[in-house]
Amino acid sequence: MKYVLLGNLSPEWASKQSERIGKAKAKLDKLGIKVESIHYTQGYYDFVDIVDAPNEGAMLAFSVWYTTQGLGRVQSMPAFDAKTFEAAIKDAGA
């Protein structure tokens, strides 16, 4: 399942980019989550990532871990492709 991660960096980790990324990558690998893209943004969120997780439990585990490590906060949202969306519209009878 693909997810969009909206993230904020903690002030303590904002200047330790390579260390933060290394820790996060190790945890993502351990949970079987593959990073498809990383985008740094200006505004409410500091970064937007697209990931592919084996299940919702893995994504939840990463979100909890990221916060408990003091790295910042992430909000995860399932992301559906166009084919899945079209099927949902059909199934909804819309």
- At the second CATH level, the architecture of 2-92 is 2-Layer Sandwich (3.30)
The domain ranges of the chain are 2-92
pTM over 0.85: yes
Note down pLDDT in tens along the chain; length 94 residues.
Answer: 999 999 999 999 888 989 999 999 999 999 999 999 999 999 999 999 999 999 999 999 999 999 999 999 999 999 999 999 999 999 998 6
What are the distances in angstroms from CA 51 to CA 10, 15, 39, 42? 21, 23, 12, 20
pLDDT for 17 equals: 87
Burial of 62 (0-12, 13-18, 19+ CB in 10 A): buried
pLDDT for 94 equals: 66
- Residue 45 sits at the vertex; the CA angle it makes with 41 and 49, to the nearest 5 degrees, is 70
pLDDT for 21 equals: 92
